[in-house]
Amino acid sequence: MYDYSTGEYHRAVEKLRALLRDDPAHFDAQCAVSMCFYRNGDFARAIEEGKKAEAMRPKEQLVHTNLSLFYMKAGDKKTAEHHGLQARISGWRDNMATPGGTPEGDPELAMSQPKPPPVKLPSQLASAPWRKKPSINAPPPVSAPETPKKPSE
């Protein structure tokens, strides 16, 4: 959102509130509202709005990460650490795929695969292509005529 990216957090909150009036379950807008209050230095309101986002998606990693940040800036280290732990647990929960299993979703976004095993090269290279090989069906090469031998005496 342009207002947010330019630091116009009050204008961004107004627009996000209008969006939330139309769609109260819009999770991303709720998270953005809480972050706008955080950026303005209003940590109490950021926590309040962050808790609304947590009510929408209690196991979302982003919610707990943001709440941890908000509580830390507000001076409540114990609650910040609690939400930091919840964020880690949410991250682990999202990564419950079996090792070596195929990832779900878009294959373009999948992690890189291990390198394929190296190709085994032949022990001998092919003979030089400029050397002629005798054809399998070709008659045997013609040799010089043999000279008759004289009978031994």
Q: Is residue 123 part of a domain?
A: no
Asked if pLDDT for residue 5 goes beyond 70, the answer is yes
Q: What is the CATH number of the domain that holds 78?
A: 1.25.40.10
Other beta carbons less than 10 A from residue 89's beta carbon: 13
The total number of structural domains in the chain stands at: 1
Instruction: Tell me if 30 is assigned to some domain.
Output: yes
Tell whether 136 is covered by a domain. Answer: no
Question: pLDDT tens-digit profile of 96-143?
Answer: 666 655 556 666 666 677 888 888 877 776 666 666 666 667 666 666
Tell which wins on pLDDT, 91 or 112: 91
Answer with the residue of higher pLDDT: 42 or 110.
42
| 15 falls within a domain | yes
Q: Is residue 117 part of a domain?
A: no
Handedness of CA 119, 125, 131, 137 (dihedral sign): negative
What one-letter code names the amino acid at 10?
Answer: H
Range 29-52 average pLDDT: 93
In a domain, 24, yes or no: yes
Q: Would 59 be classed as within a structural domain?
A: yes
pLDDT at 6 over 90: no
11, burial (CB in 10 Å: exposed 0-12, middle 13-18, buried 19+): middle
Query: What is the pLDDT, as a whole number, of residue 65?
Result: 92
Provide the residue range defining the domain that includes 41: 2-95
Residue 109 lies in a domain: no
